[in-house]
Amino acid sequence: MIVLNLLANIGRLFLGFLGASGRLAIFAGRAVSHVFRPPFFPLITLQQMISIGYFSLPVVGLTTLFTGMALALQIFEGTARFNAEGAVAQVVAIGMARELAPVLGGLMVAGRVGAAMAAEIGTMRVTEQIDALTTLSTNPFKYLIAPRLIAGTLMLPFLVLVGDIIGIFGGFVISVNLLHFNAATYVKNTVDFLENVDIISGLVKAGVFGFIVTLMGCYHGFRSRGGAEGVGAATTNAVVTASILILTANLIITRLFFSN
Amino acid sequence: MAESPKISLRGVHKSFGPKHVLSGIDLDVGRGESVVIIGGSGTGKSVMLKCILGILSPDQGKIAIDGVESVGAGSAERDRFMRKFGMLFQSAALFDSLRVWENVAFGLIQGKGMARAEAREIALKKLAQVGLTTEVAELRPAELSGGMQKRVGLARAIATDPEIIFFDEPTTGLDPIMADVINDLIVSSVKDLGATALSITHDIASARKIADRIAMIHDGRIIWDGPVAQLDDSGNPYVDQFINGRADGPIKMLVLRP
């Protein structure tokens, strides 16, 4: 009996997971199709780009600055064990550009932007503002969701590029001032070592993460039900699912770029 | 050939899971007529309205607007229906990120592609029609009282000169005087536009004032339908119980008695 219950519960969870994935896929397909079909809302898209891109600069900048600094200290300490301290510049550059700036940037933006989006759209849903849009001949997918998806997908690469520079600069500051590296050599090592693919793979990740964050914010907000509690749950779900999907997508994209 | 009714529902069913909300609604609303649907909470009034608007789609049955079937219509056709509609929501549902006049002008700017300056002029005129001044037009919805929000919602509903206006509980949550003000505004704006109106409410005073015809919904069906003058001698025990607000009668509320 206990075994049967257990199996039934596993089955129910699995079916629930399949259903949720299907709903999300349909939502994503609909949303993306509206990105490419007029009417477009350039002004709202621009507003979203500013709110996602410009206003996330402090949080992404601080995150990558401190991460770059800590990374330099850790790599110096770690590589000293086999007398390879000279590699700090290279490892910081590759670590920031390929992995840390996109992933940490994506997670920070998920917390800042994804949560706010889910709360805003969720409140619009429970106060009938989304129904009101429909009755005013305005498709909520075009007016609310498409501008956010465009803004997220375009602005996260920009944020990550800034994050790359700040993170590498953080490593440089620690290396030169605390670890007594030669500044010119450090810069030369970084520039010589970095390849295009290091930067580009990070920016591609950023674009995908931006899409994930805004999609999750819109999806959970759009589906929220039942007043304040529903909006709260939507906000939590948006951040949690976006974070998990970012980490999963990160592994997949890394594998695709660097499979040999 | 007789003119087709403005709105026509035939055998409309809608269920949510095992719960049957609408079980065969038949209703016709003629051109320029004001019909009010009365009924208790949870009897399917709002669901019926959302089915007509196309926000929900019925499980079976036909809904025709101007004789054109709207269930399962494509998005271009759905847009054409929407352009005929205006709606006042129960909670007013104003966009809180926009100013009052931008709310009223929304359907003109986004829906009809009108220039902002021109749309603003019309919005101010519609706001004046519901008794709101130019100063109010610059405020945010959150700065307004409930009655003012309803009036802005009404101005937004009539801004695009719709052929059909829906009112969802227009007086709920207002004091009796403000409720009467809203009733008067509804009557005058519907008359001015020559529009067809379909309202849902459980406020009998409001229903008497704005309706040409009243229909009562119970258990997902229309159980009585007649001109407002016949409301008091409908001969229907359900209607009598409802309009007199009696706890005892054929409509049973689930109340645990000690």
A5 in a structural domain = no
Q: Identify the band that residue A121 occupies on the pLDDT scale cut at 50, 70 and 90.
A: very high
Residue A17 lies in a domain: no
Query: How many domains, in total, are found in chain B?
Result: 1
Would the pLDDT of B258 be above 70?
no
Region of residue B235 (left: phi > 0; alpha: psi -120 to 50; beta: else): left
Highest mean pLDDT of the ranges A38-42, A66-70, A136-140, B223-227:
A66-70
Give the CA dihedral A138, A142, A147, A149, nearest 10 degrees: 150
Cβ within 8 Å, pair A136-B50: no
pTM, two decimal places: 0.89
In a domain, B252, yes or no: no
Q: What is the total count of domains within chain A?
A: 1
Domain-embedded: residue B105: yes
Mean pLDDT of chain A, nearest integer: 94
Which residues, including other chains, have CB under 8 Å from residue A205's CB and lie 6 or more apart?
A102, A103, A106, A160, A249, A250, A253, A254
User: Which residue in B87, B104, B172, B198 has the most chain A C-beta atoms within 10 A of its own C-beta, making it the best mutation to test that interface?
Assistant: B87
CA atoms of B179 and B150, how far apart (whole Å) = 10
ipTM: 0.87
**What is the C-alpha separation between B247 and B236, in angstroms, rounded?**
16
Q: How much is the pLDDT for B1?
A: 44
Question: Phi and psi (nearest 5°) for B74?
Answer: -70, 175
Domain membership of residue B127 (yes or no) is: yes
Which of A113-122, A144-153, B36-45 is predicted with the least confidence, judged by mean pLDDT? B36-45
Q: Which domain holds residue B41?
A: 7-244
- The minimal CB distance from A131 to the residues B55, B106, B110 is found for B55
pLDDT (0 to 100) of residue B253: 72
Whether residue A1 is contained in a domain is answered as: no
Phi, psi of B209 (to 5 degrees): -75, -40
Q: At what angle do helices A227-257 and A196-222 cross, to 10 degrees?
A: 160
**Is residue B199 domain-resident?**
yes
Chain B residues with CB under 8 Å of A128 CB are: 89-91, 93
- Mean pLDDT, residues B219-243 taken together: 90
Q: To the nearest whole number, what is the mean pLDDT of chain B? A: 89
Q: What is the mean pLDDT of residues A79-95?
A: 91
Contact residues, chain A, for B106 at CB < 8 Å = 136, 138
Tell whether B249 is covered by a domain. Answer: no
Dist CA B44 CA B50 (whole Å): 10
pLDDT tens for each residue of B101-125: 999 999 999 888 899 999 999 999 9
Q: Is A3 inside a domain boundary?
A: no
- Which residue of A124, A131, A136 is in closest CB contact with B106? A136
Q: Averaged over B1-23, what is the pLDDT? A: 86
User: Does some domain include residue B187?
Assistant: yes
Asked if the structure places residue A8 within a domain, the reply is: no
Q: How many helices (H) and strands (E) does chain B have?
A: 9, 10
- Per-residue pLDDT tens for A172-207? 999 999 999 999 999 999 999 999 999 999 999 999
Q: Does A129 contact B96 at a Cβ distance shorter than 8 Å?
A: yes
Residues in chain A within 8 Å Cβ distance of B107: 136-138
pLDDT given for residue B256 in this prediction: 65
Dist CA A224 CA A217 (whole Å): 11
* Average pLDDT for B73-96: 89
A129 vs B contacts (CB less than 8 Å) = 93-96
Residue B258 lies in a domain: no
pLDDT above 80 (res B3): no
In-domain check, residue A9: no
Cβ within 8 Å, pair B111-A138: yes
CATH of the domain at B158: 3.40.50.300
- Percentage of residues in chain B having pLDDT higher than 70: 97
Please give the average per-residue pLDDT across A47-68, as a whole number: 96
Residue numbers of the domain that contains A78: 41-257
Parallel, antiparallel, or unpaired for β B196-201 and B164-168? parallel
Q: Is residue B25 pLDDT above 70, yes or no?
A: yes
